[in-house]
């Protein structure tokens, strides 16, 4: 019973840390996918008297990814709806070119304003519309959610680190006598801490597997029944095979650091 | 005979020299000798013993143990030296989570001997200390006298060239004390190990020649 409790006291904080790391991995994948979606859906509208090309606009600002020309005829038809063909021809003659300008990343409003100002300086460009208000509110919500989740992960980490430190103190108490006796009889540090390392490695493996099970459950069961469309549509992002290796390596690193600290703290310092 | 322990103008102190325990002493202990160190409580008997396995560094002077200069000994060398020293403590210092058998072969585990060798040596030593039937028990299941016999068996398990014992019979009954003294006598007489024992009282019946050092007022005096 005591042994199970001893294991759980390390497995639980380790799991909390690994959950935090898995959150970061999943969250990064989801946010970058969402950011990409927002970026792809968004475009600056440019009205110009002359023809614009992607290389030309890229030379003005390297945040510009591509330029898509809008069909002038469709616009003219919409404007001249119900009028005679002569009116359409007249409008087509004077109608400027319309472009959707796509960006390389999901930028802040300040960034958009800067691009807008640069484009307005170009000879022949009549107007630039960045749809600032709508863009700004989406961008702010996105950044806020990202920040809140980052704060949550940091808090989770702090609490987990405190629990791991507590467990290191327990280990120190439990293994101090044995490690000191072994040192008196000439055991090197690797051998003295070997037993503790074996125990901790087992805990690391258990914590990693439990974490994997939790995230695989979320991926296969919870996300299917979820009301959140985005989660449903991005099920694949919830747990990747590579995540298992990242979590395992992280758990081993935490274990190695913890055992090393305990071994250092219990080593003998000659008096005199 | 080769000198196993050699102290020249040795001073031992605590708290970076503020508290001097042993002051400017010189002595020599040769291979195969049995040495008793006695003295009043707090005179520095255990401190001197600790310096012989490197738990306390000489403050001044020179101390050589088994060819190692204890003032300059490196951590790796110290561990190497300790692997060839058997140490017996008054409070036994057994590993309570390990069986008696595993405790006995600790020095062999540390040196990397095979499990077969460990098994054979454990059986032999436990038979010597009359604890063959207790091999699979844990130290806390044994009496004080039995625990100390395990401690002595552990100290002998690797045939060390030097055995250090700090009040080995301090807490023991007459029977266990007798067993411990017999084992230490045999180690010296038959295995040619050097044995240094810190004790309050030299046993009345002792079958081999020995030297006797008294520690008093920071000095070490040999009784002839």
Instruction: Check CB contact of B80 with chain A, cutoff 8 Å.
Output: yes
Asked if the model's pLDDT at residue B40 lies above 80, the reply is yes
pLDDT at A230: 66
Cα A164 to Cα A225, A251, A263, B125, distances in angstroms: 35, 12, 15, 42
Is residue A41 predicted with pLDDT exceeding 90?
Answer: no
Instruction: Give the pLDDT band of residue B67 (cuts 50, 70, 90).
Output: very high
Asked if residue A29 has pLDDT above 90, the reply is no
User: Nearest CA to A142 among A152, A150, A154, A131?
Assistant: A150
What range does the domain containing B39 cover?
3-223
pLDDT > 80? residue A235: no
Strand order in the sheet with B19-30: B19-30, B3-14, B60-65, B68-69
Q: What is the CA radius of gyration of chain B?
A: 17
Residues of B in contact with A181 (CB under 8 A): 93-95, 106
| DSSP line for A49-71 | SS---HHHHHHH-TTEEEEEE--
**A181, A186, A272 member nearest B12 (Cβ):** A272
B142-162: pLDDT as tens digits: 999 999 999 999 999 999 999
Residue B140 is given by DSSP the state: G
Chain A interface residues (partner B, CB cutoff 8 A):
177-178, 181-188, 191, 268, 270-272
B-chain residues within 8 Å CB-CB of A185?
82-83, 87, 106-107, 110, 154
pLDDT at B101: 96
pLDDT averaged over every residue in chain B: 93
B62 touches chain A (CB under 8 A): no
Give the pLDDT confidence score for residue B46 in this predicted structure.
Answer: 93
Inter-chain residue contact B56 with A271, CB threshold 8 Å: yes
The per-residue DSSP string of A127-178 comes to EEE--HHHHHHHHHHHHHHHHHHHHHHHHHHHHHHHHHHHHHHHHHHHHHHH
Say whether residue B197 is in contact with chain A using an 8 A CB cutoff: no
* CA–CA separation, B219 and B22 (whole Å): 6
Instruction: Residue B7: count other Cβ atoms within 10 Å of its Cβ.
Output: 24
| Radius of gyration, CA atoms only, chain A | 30
Contact at CB, B53 and A191, closer than 8 angstroms: no
Exposure letters A17-50 (e unless 16+ CB within 10 A, then b) = bbbbbbbbbbbebbbeebeeeebeebbbebbbee
Q: What is the pLDDT of residues A47-92, one digit of tens each?
A: 998 888 899 888 988 889 998 888 887 877 777 777 777 777 777 7
Question: CB of B107 within 8 Å of any CB in chain A?
Answer: yes
In this structure, what token pair is assigned to residue B166? 């700090």
Q: Would the pLDDT of A114 be above 80?
A: yes
Chain B residues whose CB is inside 8 A of the A178 CB are 95, 97-98
CB neighbour list of residue A186: distance below 8 Å, 6 or more residues apart: B78, B79, B80, B81, B82, B83, B84, B85, B107, B110
- Residue contacts between A and B (CB atoms, under 8 Å): 60
C-alpha span between A208 and B31 (Å, rounded): 56
DSSP classification of residue A79: H
Q: Which residue has the tokens 């170009």?
A: A122
Q: Which residues on chain B are in Cβ contact (under 8 Å) with A187? A: 79, 110
Which of A177, A184, A271 is the closest to B87 by Cβ? Answer: A184
Q: CATH code at B103?
A: 3.40.50.300
Among B55, B82, B93, beta carbon nearest to A270? B55
Which chain B residue lies closest to A188 (C-alpha atoms)?
B79
Token couple for B97: 């989570």
Q: Point out the residue among A178, A182, A270 whose CB comes nearest to the CB of B54.
A: A270
Q: Among A105-119, B49-63, B77-91, which stretch is predicted with the lowest mean pLDDT?
A: A105-119
Say if residues A118 and A25 touch (Cβ distance below 8 Å). Answer: no
Q: With an 8 Å Cβ cutoff, are A181 and B81 in contact?
A: no
Q: Are A21 and A14 in contact (CB under 8 A)?
A: no
A177, A178, A180, A184: CA torsion to nearest 10 = 130
- What is the CATH architecture assignment of A43-130? 2-Layer Sandwich (3.30)
Q: Where in chain A is the domain with CATH 3.30.70?
A: 43-130
CB contact (8 A) between residue B93 and residue A268: no
Q: Number of helices (H) and strands (E), helices first, in chain A? A: 10, 4
A33: closest CA of chain B, how far (Å)? 53
Domain count, chain B: 1
Burial class, B193, CB count within 10 angstroms (exposed 0-12 / middle 13-18 / buried 19+): buried
């Amino acid at each position: 019973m005591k042994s199970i409790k001893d294991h759980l006291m390390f497995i639980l904080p380790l799991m909390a840390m690994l959950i935090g790391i898995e959150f970061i991995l999943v969250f990064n994948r989801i946010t970058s996918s969402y950011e990409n979606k927002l970026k792809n859906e968004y475009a600056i509208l440019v009205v110009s008297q002359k023809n614009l090309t992607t290389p030309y606009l890229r030379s003005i600002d390297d945040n510009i990814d591509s330029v898509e020309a809008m069909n002038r005829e469709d616009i003219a038809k919409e404007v001249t709806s119900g009028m005679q063909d002569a009116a359409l021809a007249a409008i087509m003659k004077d109608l400027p070119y319309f472009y959707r300008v796509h960006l390389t990343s999901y930028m802040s409003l300040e960034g958009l304003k800067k691009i807008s100002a640069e484009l307005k300086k170009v000879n022949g460009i009549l107007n630039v519309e960045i749809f600032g208000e709508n863009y700004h509110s989406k961008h702010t919500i996105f950044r806020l959610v990202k920040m809140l989740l980052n704060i949550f992960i940091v808090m989770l980490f702090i609490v987990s680190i405190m629990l791991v430190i507590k467990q290191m103190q327990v280990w120190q108490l439990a293994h101090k006598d044995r490690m000191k006796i072994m040192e008196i009889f000439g055991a090197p540090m690797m051998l003295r801490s070997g037993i503790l390392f074996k125990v901790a490695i087992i805990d690391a493996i258990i914590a990693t597997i439990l974490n994997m099970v939790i995230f695989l459950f979320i991926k296969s069961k919870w996300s299917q029944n979820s009301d959140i469309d985005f989660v449903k549509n991005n099920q694949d992002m919830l747990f990747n095979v590579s995540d298992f290796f990242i979590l395992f390596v992280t758990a081993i690193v935490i274990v190695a650091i913890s055992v090393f600290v305990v071994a250092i703290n219990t080593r003998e310092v000659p008096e005199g | 005979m080769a000198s196993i322990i050699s102290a020249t103008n040795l001073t031992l102190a605590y708290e970076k020299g503020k508290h001097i325990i042993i002051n400017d002493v010189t002595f020599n202990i040769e291979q195969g000798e049995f040495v008793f160190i006695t003295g009043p409580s707090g005179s520095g008997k255990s401190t001197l013993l600790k310096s012989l396995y490197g738990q306390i560094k000489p403050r001044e002077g020179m101390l050589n143990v088994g060819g190692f200069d204890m003032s300059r000994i490196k951590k790796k060398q110290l561990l190497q030296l300790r692997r060839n020293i058997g140490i017996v403590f008054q409070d036994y210092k057994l590993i309570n989570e390990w069986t008696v058998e595993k405790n006995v072969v600790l020095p062999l585990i540390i040196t990397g001997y095979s499990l077969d060798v460990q098994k054979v040596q454990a059986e032999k030593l436990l038979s010597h200390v009359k604890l063959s039937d207790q091999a699979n028990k844990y130290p806390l299941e044994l009496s004080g006298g039995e625990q100390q016999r395990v401690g002595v068996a552990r100290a002998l398990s690797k045939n060390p060239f030097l055995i250090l014992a700090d009040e080995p019979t301090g807490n023991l009954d007459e029977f266990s004390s007798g067993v411990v003294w017999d084992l230490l006598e045999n180690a010296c007489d038959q295995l040619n190990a050097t044995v240094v024992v810190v004790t309050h009282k030299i046993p009345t019946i002792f079958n081999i020649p020995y030297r006797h050092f008294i520690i008093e007022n920071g000095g070490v005096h040999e009784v002839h």
